[in-house]
Copies of this chain bind each other. A is one copy, B any other.
Amino acid sequence: MKYIVSILFLGLSLGQISAQSITLEGAILGQGSVYRPMTYQGIQWIGDSQDKAYFSNYYSEIHRLKPGSKDPEKIITLADIKQSCDDEIAHLWGTEFKDNQTAIIHTKSAYYEYNFEDKKATKILGFPANAENKTLNGNLLAYTLKNNLYLADAGHTKIPVTKFRDKNIVSGQAIARSEFGITGGIFWSPSGKHLAFYQKNEKEVADYPLLDITATPGELKSIKYPMAGQKSENARIGIYNIETKSTIYLKVEGDMEQYLTNFAWGPNEAFVYVAIVNRDQDHMQLVQFNASTGAMNNILFEEKHPKYVEPENPAWFIPGKDDQFIWMSERDGFMHLYLYNTEGKQLKQLTSGKWVVKQILGTDNKNKNVIIETTDESGLNTVARSVNLKSGKSIVISKGEGVHHFDLNPNGIHMIDEYSNVETPGVQRVIDTKGKLIEPLITAKSPFKPGEIGTTELVTLKAGDDGTPLHARMIKPANFDPGKKYPVLVYVYGGPHAQMVTNSWLGGASLWMHYMANKGYIIWTLDNRGSANRGRDFENIIHRQLGTVEMEDQLVGVKFLKAQDYVDDTKMAVHGWSFGGFMTTSLMLRKAGTFKVGVAGGPVTDWKYYEIMYGERYMDRPEQNKEGYADASLLNHADKLEGDLLLIHGTVDDVVVMQHNLSLVKAFVDNGILVDFFPYPNHPHNVRGKDRVHLYKKVLTYIEDKLNH
């Protein structure tokens, strides 16, 4: 969400970007604004009605679309809100609908109920302007300030839930560095009478120093950073009773460094459910705890895998059935649904097939079918399916090949279905949960004039060793001439949990790729094994050997490119960020000579410097996998560089700390090898905002200069 907001504000000052020629500035800053296919932005249901709302005019207005109508009405404006609320508000982003006439709007330090029929705002509660992790539930708000957790109600803005002076004890925030699907640390109970929260004790976790250069003198901002093989955080889960103002903690047994993941409230609040994963991440137990006493009640079931298990979705209780829940698991090789009862008995495998469940959207109006979003077998497209809870029979209810996003109406009947594919910039329509088209909403035209950007082609190759299909995307310049020879820029990510190539508008590409293509380049990206949405075995082949299989697959792409008459294979460059920086540098060193130029941003250079949760899942601990760590460490391959390599890092990167890159630079210096480096001062793991234009000016200028040197 942060990312989208930043694009939003940038958009405000983009009046000067013309659509007539794609500049680098336009490509970087305009992808979410002037070059966004003109569908209804942020479309959502208004309550359980059939009315839809969407944002307009840079999030300063919300319009309503009634069923069948093509004439939207302006129902909420920032100007009206500013008149009704006694607080600062910059935009309407984040507005949700409580019911058919009430929106929940938050300002800088308060939440309001806004009745948009009579344009009247009623303050629900206030909170400190620096509150974080705000989680509203009815008339109560939970939030964090520094390391503690607080509540706000109509009368009070700051009711402490925790009061730890020790900064190492952090409550109400995400734990485990947001792995295992953890996105926050606040869990309201269904009735709102209890508040469960994560708490981590980071006392044993090493500090990593970051420097804020904007202070005089430069100021130390240390972070807790648990590196692979070192001491980790200790987590627990508290449950706060709103009425008694008392907190109990779950009585979890076992290793203090194990992971408490996928917290879920049972429907009647008697029990809570936690997926406990051991530090080695090869064993998961779904444990039921007594929510009143914190006592462990039952281990419902467990999962093991010799490589790793990775639960990312909490138990999902079937509406209306307090004793049944759905568990999502990759245990049969693909992410599928399993129906369990609260005794831990598996009632049924609900879905199966060589496709991947991505999320549960809800149930239909009779709670007989569960509506889910999944991939298709290729992994390039997504669909909605309706799965009958009784028979397990599932049918695809969405139409149109491509990547879909769905919004299921609380009425369990209607769904907004929004999709695009390589040929289709964007379509929005209303369907029902049986798959019937209710109403077409909009079909966006391309935001580009003919010839303004090049072509996007999806290509499927086969992995060299086992013939696994690998999807790739090729962008050719608008004025592509097959009789000419083009240099190639390979953009790579290659790490787990990500997919670069999809059958969506632009094929998932960033517009800077089209800017570069139009300068006379082929831009290529291939999702190697290890990438997301292709099933467990496609992903976990990377275990204990990060980079190895990934590079082999990338070379399949390179081989394909070299075989094309229009490719100048003496001028090939590679670029990537984060895991893609690791891949880029790995390719430049371990497959030296393949690429003439590489640009690696925020690269992991040695997995021993990366974090415990992600790092140990894929690589085990350093002492458990010495050879794997040594092979993957770019520090050990620095002597092999051929060609030009530019390394880039944000100086306050708290994800891949700059030690990675500086250690690699040191290895090059130790070996007497010239290499280039550029820091982005006070930028974290990614260079965002307007400085991203500078970044890509730097990256692409370097590639052009060095390819032609």
Contacts and interface: CB of A to CB of B under 8 A. Distances in A.
Contacts of A677: 677-679
B678 A213 contact: no
B698 A213 contact: no
Interface string A648-678: 0001000001010011011001101010111
A182 interface: no
Nearest to A25: B672
A701 interface: yes
A609 B217 CA distance: 7
Given A217-B225, A222-B220, A672 B659 contact: no
A630 interface: no
A227 B222 contact: no
Interface in A200-236: 206-209, 211, 213-214, 216-218, 220, 222, 225, 227, 230
A156 interface: no
Contacts of A227: 216-217
Nearest to A208: B217
A218 B659 contact: yes
Contacts of A670: 691
A626 interface: no
A665 B657 CA distance: 19
Interface string A665-709: 110011010101111111000000001011001100100010001
Residue from the set A213, A672, A693 with the largest chain B CB neighbour count within 10 Å = A213
Contacts of A691: 669-670
A404 interface: no
Given A218-B208, A218-B657, A679-B679, A213 B674 contact: no
B657 A217 contact: yes
Which of the listed residues A217, A225, A609 has the most CB atoms from chain B within 10 Å of its own CB? A217
Contact of A662 (B220, B651, B659): B651
A213 B697 contact: no
Contacts of A678: 665, 676-677
A412 to B, nearest CB: 50
A608 interface: yes
Most buried by B among A214, A657, A659, A676: A659
- Give chain A's interface residue range (CB within 8 Å of chain B): 35 or more
B674 A662 contact: no
Nearest to A673: B694
Contacts of A225: 217
A666 B214 CA distance: 10
A206 B219 CA distance: 9
B213 A209 contact: no
**Among the interface residues A230, A676, A678, which one has the most CB atoms of the partner chain B within 10 A?**
A678
B659 A217 contact: yes
A669 B696 CA distance: 12
A549 to B, nearest CB: 26
Contacts of A230: 216-217
Contact of A663 (B209, B669, B681): B681
Contact of A701 (B208, B213, B674, B682): B674
Contact of A697 (B207, B211, B674): B674
List the number of copies, as a whole number: 2
A693 B672 contact: yes
Contact of A669 (B217, B694, B701, B709): B694
Contacts of A214: 663, 666
A679 B657 contact: no
A263 to B, nearest CB: 29
A209 to B, nearest CB: 4
Nearest to A672: B694
Nearest to A694: B669
A672 B657 contact: no
A666 B213 contact: yes
A701 B676 CA distance: 12
Contacts of A609: 216-217
A694 B220 CA distance: 30
Nearest to A687: B669
Interface string A595-621: 000000000000011000000000000
Nearest to A683: B669
Interface in A379-437: none
A209 B218 contact: yes
A682 B227 CA distance: 20
Contacts of A679: 662, 665, 677, 679
A657 to B, nearest CB: 7
Contacts of A665: 678-679, 681
Q: Which of A211, A609, A663 has the most CB of B within 10 A?
A: A211
Contacts of A705: 709
B209 A211 contact: yes
Nearest to A682: B666
B211 A659 contact: yes
Contacts of A651: 662
A648 to B, nearest CB: 10
Given A669-B691, A672-B697, A662 B213 contact: yes
A216 B608 contact: yes
Query: Which 10 residue pairs of A and B lie closest in terms of their CB atoms, listed nearest first?
Result: A666-B681, A218-B659, A209-B220, A662-B681, A213-B659, A206-B217, A213-B662, A217-B227, A669-B694, A209-B209
18 contacts: A206-B217, A208-B218, A213-B662, A213-B663, A213-B666, A214-B666, A216-B227, A216-B609, A217-B230, A217-B609, A662-B679, A665-B678, A665-B681, A670-B691, A672-B694, A676-B678, A677-B677, A705-B709
